[in-house]
Amino acid sequence: GAVVSQHPSWVICKSGTSVKIECRSLDFQATTMFWYRQFPKQSLMLMATSNEGSKATYEQGVEKDKFLINHASLTLSTLTVTSAHPEDSSFYICSARDRGSPTYNEQFFGPGTRLTVL
């Protein structure tokens, strides 16, 4: 199946700093990528939908100025957590759909990035 990578896999930062997480589709073009957030032992919560070349669409309750999403190419989307605080500590997972795949219905997930804000 298609492969989605994320970098970094984990990051620890001080409160008030910004952190950028990269999501790449390695062997397919992803016109749409999705960013999820997951707290321990809880469900994945969709934060935003990222479309290549246009502004991301954020879910209700997600601060767009805090979670900046950029989808500059068909294989790369980035999530920047600005002025991070301890409550932003979470597991962030990106996902993408391969529109060129016969298994179009599948949605492929990156391995996730664990963010810890001190």
Partner 1 sequence: AQKITQTQPGMFVQEKEAVTLDCTYDTSDQSYGLFWYKQPSSGEMIFLIYQGSYDEQNATEGRYSLNFQKARKSANLVISASQLGDSAMYFCAMRGVNTGKLIFGQGTTLQVKP
Strand partners, 95: 34, 109
How far apart are the C-alpha atoms of 16 and 81, rounded to whole Å?
A: 10
The gap between the terminal CA atoms of the chain, to the nearest Å, is 37
Window 27 to 46, contacts with partner 1 (CB under 8 A): 32, 34, 41-46
Window 54 to 93, contacts with partner 1 (CB under 8 A): 91, 93
Q: Per rule CB under 8 A, is residue 108 in the interface with partner 1?
A: yes
Residue closer to partner 1 by CB (options 18, 42) is 42
Residue closer to partner 1 by CB (options 63, 106) is 106
How far apart are the C-alpha atoms of 117 and 99, rounded to whole Å?
A: 35
How far apart are the C-alpha atoms of 29 and 4, rounded to whole Å?
A: 10
Number of residues forming the site for partner 1 (CB under 8 A) = 21
Q: Per rule CB under 8 A, is residue 115 in the interface with partner 1?
A: no
How far apart are the C-alpha atoms of 93 and 115, rounded to whole Å?
A: 11
| Binding-site ranges for partner 1 (CB under 8 A) | 1, 32, 34, 41-46, 49, 91, 93, 95, 105-109, 111-112, 114
